[in-house]
Every structure is written in structure tokens, then in C-alpha cells.
Amino acid sequence: MMSDFFILMKQELVITVIIFILLLLKIGADLSNEKMLQLANALLLLNLVLGFIGNRPGVLFNEMFLANPLVVLEKNILSLGTLIISLQSSAWLKKHDHVPEFYILLLCTLLGMFFMISSGNLLIFYVGLELSSIPLAAMANFDLGRKRSSEAAMKFIISSAFASGLLLFGISLVYGATGTLTFSELGALIAGGPLQTFAFVLLLAGFAFKISVVPFHLWTADVYEGAPVAVTSWLSVVSKGSVLFVFVSVLYTVFKPIAGSWYNMLFVLSVLTILTGNLFAIRQHNIKRFLAFSSIAQIGFILVGITGSSQLAAASVVYFVLIYVFSNLAAFGVIALVSAVTGREQLNDYRGFYRTNPVLSWVLTIALFSLAGVPPTAGFFGKFFLLLAGAGKGNYILVTIAALNMILSFYYYLRLVKAIFMDVNEQPIEQLSIPAYSKLALFICITGIIVTGLAGYVYDYIHSLSSKF
Amino acid sequence: MQRPFTIDDIAMNYSSYIALIPLLPLAAFVMLGLLGKQLSRSAGILATLIMLVSTVLACYTAYNYFFVTGKVNGVYPPVAAFHYNWLPFSPGLSIDMGVLLDPASVMMLVVVNFVSLMVHVFSLAYMKGENRFATYYAFLALFTFSMLGLVLSGNLLQMYIFWELVGVSSFLLIGFYYDRPAAVAAAKKAFIVTRFADLGFLIGILILAFYGGTLDFNTLIYQLTATNSSPLTQSPQAGFPGISLLTWALMLVFMGGAGKSAMFPLHIWLPDAMEGPTPVSALIHAATMVVAGVYLVARLYPIYLLDVAVLQIITWVGAISAFLAAIIACTQTDIKRVLAYSTISQIGYMLFALGLAGYGHTTTGYSASLFHLFTHAFFKSLLFLGAGAVIHFVHTNEMLEMGGLRKWMPVTHLTFLIACMAIAGIPPFAGFFSKEEILLAAWENNRYVFLLALITSGITAFYMFRLYFSIFWSRTRSYPHQHGEGSWTMKVPLVLLGTAAVLVGFIPFADFVALDNQKEITIPLSFSIAPVTIAIAGIALAYLLYYKYNPGPQKLALALGGLYKMVKRKFYFDELYLFITKRIIFDGIAKPAAWIDKHLVDGFMNGAGRATARFAESIKAWQSGRVQSYALYFFGGIIALAALIVYWWT
């Protein structure tokens, strides 16, 4: 039915329409940056609001496209993240010559993610994944004058192509072994022979590349450091979040029959990821690299949760991504502002930050506390549920390693907090005036960090949507 | 025991406004905390008006509860007027926020609001010209919010949260004059001693919740009293050492209550807490926070009834506190400290009455205890506010530097006299009725306690009138500057509380607040003869010694010698605590522990930290920046995983 098409694909259609509006404006009208940003933010807000109304579950195109409440919620989380990032990057974009192009690229990747999340077929999934990563390379290059930005884009596109190639190889092996690409049919056909298992390993590597699981993570730090802060935060929050959503649903539905094998793989990968992320984070001097490695460690914790393979695990991953959106974007928001105005990105630059910028210092501190998992911030509850899900399998070695690593992560997060509040600096970052857009974004993030943890029904709601394993 | 029932349509009557009663003071706290500097003078008026609204709502609630809803099956039903599922962890465990109305909580609601309002009004003049005037009112509002939250709590954890909040706001108010070292020390002492007691409370809550399976008062009481299958109530051998878990839990909960209510031997913080502003003492350390311990025991009373041993402990802790504090009060010369000890003594009365109600012949002690809590709140806060007015006038706390004040302060004089009569138990003042009921309960259940209580009531009359005569009679002095008695905002609360101290005794309290199976309390007229006679004897003795200034008291003190000194030094409790903390805990335990921590634990941690850092340095080479080597690692990862999964795990 025609109305099905418009209702079920509403979120994708809205994004497409916005892309075309921006494209036409770029060609036809000569808007000032100021106006352009206002319009773009308004459209993104509209997109977020529309995401909440008039949804209903269903399937389209022979189960190639799925829509259900959880999928809608996941897309809304990504829309929220997009809006926050757009608000935060306004200080940087204001001085840029190509604002509409940035938004077009950004929304193309978002569109790709939406298709990926809604996919009920490996082919659609692959198309969505590519749509979400190729424009990203262009975005990484968006600091047009900086060599490092180009280098980041180059590294990203090469690694990405490499990972995609192997992923596609895996998909073709799956097709060869089973004769179908539809998720619902695959679930019954996967049995765990060597060919299927190898195909799964290739698929897993593709996912692992996107969410930076060790040892597929090496591009992360270089790209994060080189790319503009807005793109870095996009990569670390929205892009990773979208792949995580798909990863969990694919693991829990399609590859459910070989849960025993992937459980062991995830065990090894999560330990490696947490340890590597933490150990590297300790040594970093650049704040973006620092957050890159800390986000790798966070992914390790999410993997611990995923190993739980239960409804609790599925819910806690979505819950954690939501919290991660708030916490990480709050941190990136402050860094983006400092970077846009002063160009300073070293950890040492933040010494004595509190003396000049008390408000930003508190925002950054709350965000870091939430990332570290200090109660009563939401990050604590997020990690708590992840570890709880991981403990559900009875693998206490894994949970113990994760818990010990949480302590290790306190060290480097608190080191930054100490630098902000206690260290003295000859040339501290000067006092910054916070633009209205950034203020709004930071306010949303901090409210989210506090409310998501304390209001129990947020988790309850997600839990009620999550599928039983 | 019936299944606790909550009738929806009754709850509907309340839900619309009941949450406002605690939330209004919270709003006042937030407003004054944020905008205090801009508001300055009007901050006090704003807070007072908000309190007025809250008090009106509280009275309306009480009217609704007692007269509109009324009794169901002959008892006032507990009503869960407001309930919010706050942090649901799992189907079995959730942390809720709720409002539970039952006779005791409604009574406390009115008392807390009324006394708090009086203190708000009184402070308008008393704290005038204070630098941190708005801050003071913000703290008062915070305290009122916490106390109301405590009173209305529907479950143990919520109560614990507000219990701690009350402790924090009390800490802030005691240390309000933070430039005085004594105030800072007193605030710390109050906080640490009550925190120590709260540790017991928390463990008790955890035991009760773990074995009772819930935190909710009504459900907990139902489960523990109705079913005997709970491991808590099984044979006493189940626990450690030979004491049942239930006994442990109840004793630990009582420990928290005893700490807040300043019962021996955890009483040492209350006299020092008098360093705070006097109206604060009237609110926190006379009428509301210090009776939280009594309220806590009353709240869990059906559970306490299961265990006679704990009730016996409560009885004797109460009786001994009442007696010892009364003796100490006779030797103190700081008027606020006298009042502090008299508070300890009166709370002792309430507690032993509660204890006695559980294992004797009659159960009247329960409502007698809460009745005394009710009347005591009025006359004791009146005494403190009166003392505040006196201190405001003479600028000292020392009784020996006062005298003859009746000429300058007629209103204070009269109301103070009423309060003294009330506490001494002279008919027809409020204290007479409640004390009589307590003494009757003691007479019927335990003659030893009765004797001790009777003697204590004589001592009470003596020290209260010693205070009264010393302040208002004795020798007349000249005072440096005479600015009159104080403005109307100081007098109105005194008069209102004075009126209450006369009238509230006539309320047929046992009709409203009583155990389910309690029989009616009738005090035979002849029973009152002994207590009243003893009280009058106490007053007469005080009259002889203190009405006119004479060397008699001095001589008496000398004659008593060492005994007097021992009592004056408060039985050396403070010195004992200092010995235990300084000599035993600091030197004996803390110092060796610090050495181990510094040399062994830190040494290991530093070593581990250095090793981690070195390791991190050594693997830095992986991150070379060359894309081709990244691809190599990528491919290596796939091969390793495939090898693992294909050859090892299948």
C-alpha cells in the first residue's frame, strides 16, 4: 500500500527532503552562513520532532525494510545526536565557506545509517553502510586548508574500502552458503559449518572496523585527531551508535544459532579492546586522541554487555548509546568550542581551565564523570547495566577485568579533571563567550546526563522495546 | 494484623496538594539559595509566607484525615496519598518515593509545620542585621523540607534519605556562625556522632529489607507480622551470637534513632549543638529532628512488638537518659544547655513509654509517648524561643549573669513561666496530661521505671524553676543597652506557642493516635497526687535556693564536692569519647593502618601504576600512523579470529 510506504519510511523521507531543500538553496539562493545555520538547525529540530509522531510497525519491499518501535527509537537517538552536533559546530561552521555542503554530506550519512538500522536484508544493510561511510571521508577532509585533515580523510577512505571489501566478501560467502540474504530466513539456515563461521568472522571484522574494536581500530586515533572536531564527534557517537544498533540486532537474530562461537570471540575482543583503549588513553597528549582511545575502551564495555545475550543486554546497549550521546557530545562540545576559538587541542592546554572558564569546566567535568561512570551521573547506570548484562552469563573473569579497567579509566579521566581544577598554567585558555547554539547543546547534554540516569522509566521504556533473546 | 489497605478514593482526596507541603519549603530553599543576595531582607518574609501556605495545607490535611475521611472499621487507616515508582531496578526491588498518611505522620506534619512557621516568624527579628540572612532562611527551608519528607516517608529508604538530609541541614545550621571555632566543632561533632549512629540504621534497614523483601512500611509490617515463615522471625539461634536477626535489625535501627534523639550514650552532640542560632535550637533540637528517633520506633512499632528484648533495651535507655540528663541539667549554667539536657530527659520519657507499651499489661504507653512528643514540641520550642529573646536582650547565655528580667520582658516572662509549668507537669498545662499518661503507663507495667520517672519529674521541676528564677527573679542587674523586649515578630510566636502550651493538653489525643487494640486511657484523680506533689516540692526547693540571690546554692555545691563536679562535667562522657577516639582509634588503629597504607599498599599501587605506564609506552609502536600496517593488523585479526573459532572452539 502506498500509505505504508510514506508512514514506515517517514524518517528516511524527511531526511531526503531536507537534503534536497539544502541542495536547491545551495544552487539557487545565496544565503549568509548565519541564515543557513538557523535554517539547518530548524530543519534538524523538525526532523527530530517528526520522528516521534505517527509511527507504526511494519515491513516493506519483501522484508528488505523493517520498521518497529525500537528501530524508530534508535533513529530518534541518532537524530538527537545530529541536532546536538549541528548546534555545537555552529561556531566552527560560521567561518566556513561551504556550510550547505557540510550539511548535505552529514545528512547523507545519516540517511545511510537509517537504512542500515531498518535493513532486513544484508544487501540493504551494505548499501546503507556504504552510504554512511563514503560521505564521511569527505567530511573528515572538511578543514580544507589543513594537511592533517586531508591525511585523515585519506586514511579513512582507504581503511574503509579495505574493510568494506572484506565485509562484501563475507556477505557473498553467506549468500553462497545459504542462498539468501534476508535476515528472517538466514536465522534458520545458519548452522555453524566452517564456511559459515568464516563468513561470520568477515562480517564481524566489518562491524568491528566501524565501531573500532581492537585490532581493527588503528585508523581511529589518526582520523579523530586530523578531522574537524564536529566530524570527530560525529564519528565517535552517531556513526558508532548506528553500527552498534545493527550489530546487536544482527548478532541476536541472524547469528543466534552460533551464539556459542561468537560469545568466545566477543570475550577475547572485549578484553583486548578495553585494555588497549585504556592503556593508550593514558599516554595521549592530544585531547581528541585521548577521547578517541577512551571511546575505544567504552566500546569494549559495550561488548561486555553484548556478550550477555539477553533482553537486558540488548536494552542496556541502546541505553548506554543514549547516555554516550549525551556524555561524549558534552565533552566534544566544550572541546569543539575551545578548538574553534583558540585552536588549542593539547591536554596541557586545559591546565587552569577552571580559573578562566568555570562553566565550561563544570560541563566538561560532569561529562568526564559520566564517561568514567561516577554515580549519580547517567554513565554510572549505563555501565552498571552493561556489566550486569555481562555478569548474566556467569563469566566473572570478564566482568572482573571490566571492573578493574573502570578503575584504570578513572585515573586518566580524573587526571584531566585535576588539570582543569588544580593545576596552574602560565597561559591558560582565555575566557570564552559561549555562543547561544553551543549553550543550548551543552544544556541538552547535561540535562540528559542527569535525567537519563535518575529517571528510571527511560531504561524501562527501552527494556520494554527490546527483543527477547 | 489486617492487610494494609489503601482506598483509592481516599487517596484521591489528598494527592492533588499533599506533595506541595514538603515541596513548598524546597522551592523556598532553591529560590533563596539562588537569589538570596538580591532579595536580602525580603528573603525572610518570602520564606515565612511560603511556610504559612505549607502550614495551612498541613492543617487542612489533618482536618481532612481525621474528620472528613475519619475512621474505617474503628481505626484511622494508613493512606498512601502519593506514590511514585522512582528507580525500578527489577520486579522485586524498586526505590519509590511516596507519602504515607497515618495518625502519627499527620500529627507530626502539623507539629513540624507549626513550629517551623513560628521559628520563621521569630527569626525575622532575631536574625535581623545578620550578613547571611538569606542563607539562614534557605537552610531553615531546607531543614523543613527534609523533616517533612522524613515524616511523610512511605518506605524505609526514602526515610533514610531524608534522615540524612535532616542531618546535613542540621549540620549547616549548627555551624551557621562558621567564624566561631566552637560552632564549627559542634557542627562536626553533631554530624559525626549522628552519622556513626546512622551506620547502624542503614545496616538495620538492609537486614529488614533483605529478609522482609520490601522497603515499604506497610508491606514490611504486613509480611513480618502476618507470616511466620520469614527467616527473620524464626528461632533465635539463627542469628549471631544467639541473638536473632530480627533483634539485630531492630537494635541497629534503634541505634540510628538513639543517635538522632541524643539518647545515652550518644547524647554528647546535643548540648554542643546549642552553638547554633537559638531559633534553630527551638526548631531542630527541641521539637522536630531530635524526636525523629521516637517517631522511627513508633513507625515500625508493629515490628518492634515482635521482639520484647529490644523494647526492654529501649525502655531502659529511655529511663536512664531521662534520669541522668535531668541530674546534669541541675548543674549547668548556660541556659541553652539546661534546655538541651531537659530535651534529652523528656525524649527519654517518650522512649521508655514506647518501650513499656510493648511488653506490659497495657499498651497505653504508645499513645502516651506520642502525646508527650506532641505537647513537648510546643512548650520546649517556646522555652527555646523565650531563651532566644532573653539572649537577644542580655547578650549572654550565662544564667549567672542574668536576673530580674521580668521587669523588662513581661511577655517573655509570662510565656516562659507557662512553659516551665507545662514541663514540670503542673495542671492544667499541656505537659501535665501527657506526663501523667506516661507515668500511668509506667505504674501499670514496671514499678522500677515508674519510680525513676517520678524522681526525674521532681528534678525536672527543680531545674526548670532554677532556670526560671535565675533569669527573671534573683538579683536585679543593670543591662548595658536596653532596647526593649523585641519587636512584635518575636512576641507573636511566644504568645501563640504559650497559648498552645496551655490548650493542647485538653485534646483527647488517644482517640486519634493509638495502637489498634488500645483501651481507653482513664487517669484516676488520686494517681495525680504523687507526681504533682513531687513537682511542687521541686519548685519549692528551687524557690528557696534561687528566688532571691543567696549563697545557698554555692554552699550546697561545695558540700557535695566531687559528686557535684562529676555531674557538672556531665559524668565525663566527653572525656571518655575523646579517650576512645584519640588514644585507641587514632593511635592504636589509625596510625598503624596509615603506615601500612603508605608503605605497603601505596608501594604496590605505585609499582603497578609504573608497570602499566611502561607497558603502555612499549606498545605505542603499534600506532605507527602508516595505513598499510593498519591493514596488516586488520587482516591479522581476521586470521587469528578465524583460526581460533575454526580450530579451537569447534
Model pLDDT for residues B537-580, shown as the tens digit of each residue: 888 888 888 877 777 777 777 777 777 777 777 777 777 777 77
Task: Choose from A70-74, A391-395, B9-13, B505-509 the range with maximum mean pLDDT.
Answer: A70-74
Across the interface, whether the CB atoms of A283 and B636 are under 8 A apart is answered: no
Inter-residue contact B184 to B190 (CB < 8 Å): no
What is the per-residue pLDDT for B483?
67
B contact test, residue of A201, A209, A210 with most B CBs within 10 A: A201
Q: Which residues of A143-158 are buried (b: 16+ CB within 10 A; e: fewer)?
A: beeeeebebbbbbbbb
Nearest by CB: A201 against B612, B634, B645: B645
Across the interface, whether the CB atoms of A283 and B644 are under 8 A apart is answered: no
Across the interface, whether the CB atoms of A265 and B633 are under 8 A apart is answered: no
CA distance B154 to B82: 9
Tell me if chain B has a CB within 8 Å of the CB of A159. Answer: yes
Tell me if chain A has a CB within 8 Å of the CB of B533. Answer: no
Tell me if chain B has a CB within 8 Å of the CB of A197. Answer: yes
Residues in chain A with CB shorter than 8 Å from the CB of B608 are none
- Say if residue A112 is exposed, middle or buried (CB neighbours under 10 Å; 0-12, 13-18, 19+): buried
pLDDT bracket for residue B9 (50, 70, 90): very low
Mean pLDDT value across chain A: 86
What is the per-residue pLDDT for A379?
86
What is the per-residue pLDDT for B363?
77
Let me know how long chain A is.
469
Q: Coil, strand or helix: which one is B530?
A: helix
Residues in chain A with CB shorter than 8 Å from the CB of B637 are 205, 208, 215-216
CA distance B612 to chain A (A): 7
CA distance B273 to chain A (A): 31
pLDDT digits (tens, 9 = 90+) for B63-92: 888 888 777 777 777 877 777 777 766 666
Whole-structure pTM over 0.90, yes or no?
A: no
Residues in chain A with CB shorter than 8 Å from the CB of B85 are 456
Tell me if chain B has a CB within 8 Å of the CB of A272. Answer: no
Tell me if chain B has a CB within 8 Å of the CB of A148. Answer: no
Q: Which residues of A372-409 are buried (b: 16+ CB within 10 A; e: fewer)?
A: bbbeebbbbbbbbbbbbbbbbbebeebbebbeebbebb
Tell me if chain A has a CB within 8 Å of the CB of B86. Answer: yes
pLDDT digits (tens, 9 = 90+) for B341-397: 999 999 999 999 988 887 777 778 888 899 999 999 999 999 999 998 888 888 888
CA distance B138 to B23: 14
Type of residue found at B319? A
What is the per-residue pLDDT for B148?
92
What is the per-residue pLDDT for B154?
85
CA distance A30 to chain B (A): 40
B233 pLDDT higher than 70: no
- The DSSP annotation for A132-155 comes to HHHHHHHHHT-STT-HHHHHHHHH
CA distance A365 to chain B (A): 22
pLDDT bracket for residue B15 (50, 70, 90): low
CA distance B198 to chain A (A): 21
Residue B230 or residue B493, greater confidence: B493
What's the whole-number mean pLDDT along residues A145-149? 84
The stretches of B64-155 forming alpha helices (DSSP H) are: 103-126, 133-152
Q: Distances in Å between the alpha carbon of B611 and those of A398, B304, B355?
A: 22, 56, 60
Nearest by CB: B634 against A155, A162, A261: A162
Q: Which three cell numbers stand for residue B301?
A: 512499632
CA distance A423 to A348: 10
For chain A, how far is it from start to end, CA to CA, in angstroms? 32
A333 pLDDT higher than 80: yes
A69 pLDDT higher than 60: yes
Q: How many CA atoms lie within 13 A of A455 on its CB side?
A: 12
What is the per-residue pLDDT for B54?
92
A327 pLDDT higher than 80: yes
CA distance B145 to chain A (A): 20
What is the per-residue pLDDT for B4?
43
Tell me if chain B has a CB within 8 Å of the CB of A145. Answer: no
pLDDT digits (tens, 9 = 90+) for B429-443: 888 888 888 888 888
Across the interface, whether the CB atoms of A205 and B637 are under 8 A apart is answered: yes
Residue A107 or residue B551, greater confidence: A107
Across the interface, whether the CB atoms of B630 and A408 are under 8 A apart is answered: no
B97 pLDDT higher than 90: no
B contact test, residue of A279, A290, A296 with most B CBs within 10 A: A279
- Which residues 206-245 in chain A show a CB within 8 A of chain B? 208-209, 215-216, 218-219, 221-222
A112 pLDDT higher than 90: yes
Residues in chain A with CB shorter than 8 Å from the CB of B627 are 154-155, 158-159, 219
Q: Identify the DSSP state of A254.
A: T
Across the interface, whether the CB atoms of A408 and B612 are under 8 A apart is answered: yes
Q: Considering only A36-40, A205-209, B26-30, B612-616, which range has the smallest mean pLDDT?
A: B612-616
What is the per-residue pLDDT for B480?
66
What's the whole-number mean pLDDT along residues B28-37? 83
pLDDT digits (tens, 9 = 90+) for A388-439: 888 888 778 888 888 888 888 888 888 888 888 888 888 888 888 888 888 8
pLDDT bracket for residue B5 (50, 70, 90): very low
Percent of chain B with pLDDT over 70: 90
What is the per-residue pLDDT for B322?
92
- The DSSP annotation for B220-237 comes to HHHHHHH-S-STTTS-GG
* Closest by Cα among A277, A309, A326, A313 to A80: A326
CA distance B294 to chain A (A): 32
Q: CA A430, A431, A437, A440 torsion: positive or negative?
A: positive
Nearest by CB: A282 against B613, B633, B634: B613
pLDDT digits (tens, 9 = 90+) for B440-473: 888 888 889 899 999 999 999 999 998 898 888 8
Tell me if chain B has a CB within 8 Å of the CB of A58. Answer: no
pLDDT digits (tens, 9 = 90+) for B185-194: 888 888 888 8
CA distance B147 to B284: 9
Q: Which three cell numbers stand for residue B397?
A: 547565655
Residues in chain A with CB shorter than 8 Å from the CB of B83 are none
CA distance B40 to B122: 17
Cβ contacts of B282 within 8 Å, gap of 6 or more: B115, B118, B119, B122, B380, B381, B384, B385, B388
Q: Considering only A180-184, B410-414, B481-485, B627-631, which range has the smallest mean pLDDT?
A: B481-485
Cα B392 to chain centroid distance, Å, stands at 26
Residue B351 or residue B526, greater confidence: B351
- Say if residue B454 is exposed, middle or buried (CB neighbours under 10 Å; 0-12, 13-18, 19+): middle
Give pairs for B540-546: CB < 8 Å, separation 24+: B541/B462, B542/B461, B542/B462, B542/B463, B542/B464, B542/B465, B542/B466, B542/B468, B542/B469, B543/B465, B543/B469, B545/B466, B546/B465, B546/B466, B546/B469, B546/B470, B546/B473, B546/B474
Q: Which residue of A has its CA nearest to B619?
A: A280
pLDDT bracket for residue B6 (50, 70, 90): very low
B230 pLDDT higher than 60: no
Other CB atoms within a 10 A radius of the CB of residue B525 amount to: 7
pLDDT digits (tens, 9 = 90+) for A272-310: 899 888 888 887 888 888 888 888 899 999 998 888 888
What's the whole-number mean pLDDT along residues B47-67? 89
What is the per-residue pLDDT for A115?
92
Across the interface, whether the CB atoms of B634 and A268 are under 8 A apart is answered: no
What's the whole-number mean pLDDT along residues B106-122? 91
Nearest by CB: A215 against B85, B637, B644: B637
In this prediction the ipTM stands at 0.75
pLDDT bracket for residue B236 (50, 70, 90): very low
pLDDT bracket for residue B8 (50, 70, 90): very low
Tell me if chain B has a CB within 8 Å of the CB of A271. Answer: no
B149 pLDDT higher than 70: yes
Tell me if chain A has a CB within 8 Å of the CB of B644. Answer: yes
What is the per-residue pLDDT for B103?
86
Q: Which residue of A has its CA nearest to B643?
A: A198
Inter-residue contact A49 to A410 (CB < 8 Å): no
Q: Which residue of A has its CA nearest to B627?
A: A155
pLDDT digits (tens, 9 = 90+) for B369-378: 999 999 999 9
pLDDT digits (tens, 9 = 90+) for A193-239: 778 888 888 999 989 988 888 888 888 888 888 888 889 889 888 99
Mean pLDDT value across chain B: 82
Domain boundaries, given as residue ranges, for chain B: 1-154, 576-648
Q: Which residue of A has its CA nearest to B87?
A: A456
